Every structure is written in C-alpha cells, then in structure tokens.
Structure 1
Amino acid sequence: MTQSCGFVAIVGRPNVGKSTLMNRILGQKVSITSRRPQTTRHQVMGIKTDEETQFIYVDTPGMHIMSKDRNKAINRFMNQAATQALRDIDCVVFIIDRTRWAPEDQVVLDKLEHVSAPVILAVNKVDWLEDKASLLPWLDEVGAKRDFAAILPISAKHGTNVPELEAEVAKHLPEGIHHFPDDQITDKSSRFLAAELVREKVMRQLGDELPYQMTVEIEEFKTDQRGTLHISALMMVERQGQKKILIGEAGDRIKKIGREARLEMERAFESKVMLNLWVKVKRGWSDDERALKSLGYDLD
C-alpha cells in the first residue's frame, strides 16, 4: 500500500484548546495544559501513525496581540514560534472557541492569508454551548471569512468529532515515506517533558498569583542502578516575592507542586521518580534574548 505523511500545524489564539486537541489525538499527554492562556511556549511535535498514514502535528503557542504587559522577548518568541510552524506544512487546523470571534482570532486569520496549504476550521468547546441552535448560523458566518477546506464543530476535551477531523486532515497529506518510526509520538526529549510537567503544575495551582515570568530548567536527569529516575528541576522567577509565592508557607506550596509533578512523571516515564525542586531568582530573564536561548527558547 502507498504510504502518506505530512505536517499539520495546529494554530489559534491562546487558550482555545490546541494542546488538548493534540493530546486527545495522540491518546496521551505530550503538550501540557492549563486554564491560563499561553501555557504552551514552544512548538511541540506530536506524531501519530495509523497504518500507512503518518500525521505529524505541530502544537503551537497561542498567537497574541502584543500589548504593554505582553511585550517582552518571551512574547515575541512565542509569536515567532507559532508563525514559523506555518512554513512548509501540508495542512492547518485553525481552532476557535465556540461562537465568539476575538481580535486575536483575526490575528491568526491574517497570518493564514499567506499560507497556501488547506486550512480546516475547528470550532472547539461546542459541548459548552447552552444554545445549540446558535451554532449553525455561526458556522455560516465564520465560513464566509475564508475558503476553508472544511469546518467542523468539535470538543477536544471529550473527543466529539475528533475522528472526523483526523479523517479530514488525512485527505490533505501527500504520498511519501514516514519520517519517524511508527512507535514514536514526539520529537521532544524526556528532559523537556519533565520541565513542562513541573511548569504545568505551577500554572494550574497558582493561577493568577504568579505572573508568566516563571520557567523550569532540568539540572539532573539520570537513572540509578535500581531503575529509579532522579530529576532535579530549577524553577526560575524574576522577583523575590514570586519565589516566596512558589515556596509557600513552610514550603507547603512547593511540596504540593513536587508531589503532583512526580506522580505524573512516574506515569509518563513508567518508573519510580525522585524529584527535587529548587527556586531561583533571575531578574529580567523573560526579556533577555540571550537568557531565553540558554533556557531552551530557541527557534532553531
């Protein structure tokens, strides 16, 4: 049988469910998620091989409007990473949220003007709609904004219409040999996933208490003779007050973050994990391009 293989960019404004969709398609967590916008900071590749067809999905940071509080080097990096993912791809899945068209949706649509690959519009979170009758006229309205290859209402969280979305994507993948082994699901390393899982737990627990100026760097990642994985993670913030928030009273916050991250790592890596967390203040790292590169925020 003839093989097909292609790259599929998943794009949209922040917090519309891009990472949730990719995790749903893959059947396991590759991209971290939280209710906070801009949880995803990097391009994350998710690979799904279904017999003769290999889908190479690229989850992207949410494209956002640069503003006074979002005008740092890390914001520019995220927008550039999302835009770069649109190069040399075979299909685009553009996700929007139910029946609301936000200014940042228009930002994404404008970026897609120069993309020749077919664009599938996925209207996410339709399970949250109270007025289901409003969906059909809304689909007609957004369908007039571009000549989309297809428009599908979906629920990334619950899987509604996700198989139909995959079938639609498959129509646009070119013939060609598979780029990755059939059992590979991502191009990211275990160290990267470990850092992301710690950051996810911080974002989920602290919500609006902690600004976006927090990142995680893995300093140790090794397995001992008994098969236990030892991981040391450095959580970096920009101010002393942020460090106090992360640690919590009598260290209760950092202990809870560590416990939740360790349990998820044990599921992901299928081994016992010994996790050590540290917090360090590094002023201005999120607006320092050299510091960002040293922390792995590099488009190369």
Structure 2
Amino acid sequence: MSDSLSPMSAMFGSVPEGYRSGFACFVGRPNAGKSTLTNALVGTKIAITSSRPQTTRHSVRGIVHREDAQLVLVDTPGLHKPRTLLGQRLNDVVRTTWAEVDVIGFCLPADQKIGPGDRYIAKELAEIKRTPKIAVVTKTDLVEPKILAERLLDVQRLGSELGLEWAEIVPVSAVGDQQVGLLADLLVPLLPEGPPLYPQGDLTDEPEQTMIAELIREAALEGVRDELPHSIAVVVEEMQQREDRPADRPLLDIHANVYIERPSQKGIVIGPKGSRLKDVGTKARKQIEALLGTPVFLDLHVKVAKDWQRDPKQLRRLGF
C-alpha cells in the first residue's frame, strides 16, 4: 500500500495468529450499489446513497472489525465516460484506488443486463494482473431466481471472454442483508496477514466535516435529483459549540453553503418561500445529530459557483 491510502499502522496489543488486515475496494458503473453495500458491511451509514448515478464523489473508507481480521473498504465513485473536469477527476480517483488495494470487488446489478459500461470496466480490470477480483452481483432482492441465475452465468462468461479470472462470484442484497456476511468471509482470506490498521471501534477515517457536508448534499439531492443531479456541492464553513449553554444541553452550530452552478438553479434548491431548503435542513440535521450524537443548529445558505464542475479553480475550492 502506498502512503496515500495506508494510515499509520499501529500494534494494538496481541492479535490472533493468522490475523489479516488490508484494503478492498468496490468498483462498478454508477448506481451499481457500491455505497449501499459498503454501509451494509460496516454496519452503519458512512457513505451517502441515492438512486442517481455519480452520487459518490470521493473515496470513502469504511472499517469492518472482525476477530480474525480488519477489512478496510474503499467505496469509490462510479467509473463513467466523463463530460466535465469533475468527471475526469472522479475517474482518476477510481483508477488510483485500484492500484493501491489488496482486493477488488466488481459490482454488477442483478436487475440490469451487462452493458457497455460494465464491459469497459471489466477490460480495465483485466489489465490489473496481480490483484484478486471478486464479482459481486448486487441488488438480488429485485429479481426472480431465474434472472439471477442468468446474470451469474453472464458474469462468468464476461470473465472468460476477457481473460479476467474471478476469485469468486457472489450474489448479494445489501438492502435485504442477504449474503453480506458471506462476502466479508470471502474477502478476508485475500488480504495480507498483519496487525490492525485502525483502532478498534473506528468505523471510518472520514473527517467529520466531510461526512456532514455529504449528508447535507444527500438531503439536497433528494428533492431535485431530476433537475440538478450533479450541480450541487456542499462546503461546511464553520462548526463550533454554542457558548453559554449548560453542560447537559450542548448545541453545535454548523454553518454550510450549498453551491450550484447557475443563478437560475437557486430557486429550485430554495423552493417556494424557502420550503425546499427548510426541508433539506430538517432531514440533514436529523442525520447529522445521529452521526455526532449531539443536538445541532444547522444554518444553510445557497450560493452560485459558476460552472464549478468545469473550472479547476472552483473545483479546488470545493475540495476536488
């Protein structure tokens, strides 16, 4: 593992003989169920999900603790044909991650036939010779057994056609919690032996501000996903405990900006008489309070960052 992905490894007392620790990443075209699967394996929400493609915009690490291993899952953006500078950068994130992990899980949704996007990714994976690959057929709860059997055969054929050797082919449903534990059981033996990489109890190494911004973005996407699926970015500008509060009644003030690309989009996000933005704030605040375990006052403002998806300067300012 290179320094860009591997945290400082530390010895956490004695670990069982044969203990394994390492990194696995889920890849696939947009909306293949990677984030939902990551959350299901970790056992809590660390990656935002949406029915819209390209919801994930950076690598999110979730940590699975087991008696015999520590499995660090890297949830990546969906690989896609980029139309903007942001799209190019998301693809770069994916390919960099592939080069650094110990095992790759290729997610293919059971409710859709294998398409050009899947084949494109499979061809790229076939070029990575040393890293073991597991084919994960996701969303099995959405199809009949006959369709699932056809899909599993299709995945097997895809590997044979491209000289891509699957270590395993596993059908799972993250929503229905079917075979999620089995997937972890199959990933762990492909990790190298070694001590834990993160302290017991850590579920992610995402900074709190990043997770909060993502929860706000998820709530903002909820109502406008058809109109503005990719135009929304969120930056948390300030987080601080409110002063003069009694110890048993703390309140965390969070000030965040929701950025869109054009002035005409502002009204869509704010909604009639501010109703949509208020709804976004309520939904996001509940999720943030659940994440942090403390009451929150959330102050949201909508701002225009003109054509930010195509502007290198704006992308830097928004964290890409």
Is TM (by shorter chain) over 0.5? yes
- Displacement of 1:52 in angstroms is 3.4
Aligned equivalents of 2:105, 2:240: Cα separation in 1: 37
Deviations 1:24-73 (A, max 9, x none): 1111110000111110000001111112310010000000123xxxx111
Residue 252 of structure 1, aligned match among 263, 270, 275 = 275
Residue 233 of structure 1, aligned match among 247, 256, 259 = 256
Residue 222 of structure 2, aligned match among 179, 204, 216 = 204
Structure 1 position 45 matched with structure 2 position 61: yes
Aligned equivalents of 1:211, 1:240: Cα separation in 2: 16
Aligned equivalents of 2:126, 2:81: Cα separation in 1: 17
| Corresponding position of 1:117 | 131
CA gap 1:271/1:109 in 2 versus in 1, 3 angstroms: same
Deviations 1:83-119 (A, max 9, x none): 1110121111110011510211112112212222111
| Corresponding position of 2:114 | 101
- Displacement of 1:294 in angstroms is 2.0
Query: The residue matched to 2:255 in structure 1 has which SS?
Result: strand
| Corresponding position of 2:86 | 74
- Displacement of 1:211 in angstroms is 4.0
Structure 1 position 36 matched with structure 2 position 48: no
| Corresponding position of 2:32 | 16
TM-score by length of 2: 0.88
Residue 176 of structure 1, aligned match among 168, 179, 194 = 194
Residue 138 of structure 1, aligned match among 151, 159, 184 = 151
Aligned equivalents of 2:157, 2:200: Cα separation in 1: 38
Aligned equivalents of 2:278, 2:154: Cα separation in 1: 49
* RMSD value, Cα: 1.2
Aligned equivalents of 1:132, 1:4: Cα separation in 2: 34
Structure 1 position 161 matched with structure 2 position 179: yes
- Displacement of 1:16 in angstroms is 0.9
Once superposed, which parts of structure 1, at least 4 consecutive aligned residues long, lie more than 4 Å away? none
- Displacement of 1:157 in angstroms is 1.3
| Corresponding position of 1:85 | 97
TM-score by length of 1: 0.94
| CA contact 1:63–1:107 (8 Å) conserved in 2 | no
Aligned equivalents of 1:200, 1:73: Cα separation in 2: 22
Aligned equivalents of 2:35, 2:148: Cα separation in 1: 23
Aligned equivalents of 1:156, 1:238: Cα separation in 2: 34
Deviations 1:131-190 (A, max 9, x none): 321322331221122220001111111111111111000110110111111111111111
Aligned equivalents of 1:164, 1:104: Cα separation in 2: 27
1:261-300 matches, cutoff 5 A? 261-297=284-320
Aligned equivalents of 1:91, 1:61: Cα separation in 2: 17
| CA contact 2:221–2:229 (8 Å) conserved in 1 | no
- Displacement of 1:205 in angstroms is 1.7
Aligned equivalents of 2:309, 2:173: Cα separation in 1: 33
Query: The residue matched to 1:24 in structure 2 has which SS?
Result: helix
Query: The residue matched to 2:290 in structure 1 has which SS?
Result: helix
| Corresponding position of 1:190 | 208
| CA contact 2:38–2:73 (8 Å) conserved in 1 | yes
| CA contact 1:64–1:107 (8 Å) conserved in 2 | no
Amino acid at match of 1:106: R
- Taking only the aligned residue pairs, the percentage that are identical comes to 36
Q: How many aligned residue pairs are there?
A: 292
Aligned equivalents of 1:256, 1:59: Cα separation in 2: 28
